[in-house]
Amino acid sequence: PTNPLFLQVAVKNSLDIFYFNVPFDLSAVLVEGAAMTRDQFTAIWQRVGDTGQSNTVVNANGMDAETVKRYLAFDNVNYVAQRQVDGALLLYMSATTSNNCVVTAEITVPGGGGQIKVGTRTETATLTPIFEAAIAKRLGSR
């Protein structure tokens, strides 16, 4: 898929048929309230493995973990769990599309602020760059 995503529309009337593309964000097709359990998340995370993980960095200086969770919830990216590692907080998040494709993410929020690392794993690899762009857009646009 392209980024941004496009909905192809055709309108037929008495004059002609008109075709056009309507851009939309990934969040428009993420299911509301599709939170996963830790076990469901872990199963997908392990099945995809390290080789299927994509990493990116988001410049969201000064954003704490609670703010990250709140901002991502606006886009139907759901909180699963968290843990503390070396002064950083790792958030485990998931999102499900309307056609049941699941994207999982490990978001590293440094203790003193700074750049946020996003590790994405999904069995639908074509969603990875679109999901990462959606995360960057949400967290970087404050």
What contacts 19, CB < 8 A, 6 or more positions away?
Answer: 8, 9, 10
CA atoms within 13 A on the CB side of 60: 26
Separation of alpha carbons 76 and 56, rounded Å: 20
What are the pLDDT digits (tens) for 70-90? 999 999 999 999 999 988 999
Token code pair at residue 105? 């993410």
Predicted TM-score (pTM) above 0.75: yes
* pLDDT digit string, tens, across residues 38-47: 999 999 999 9
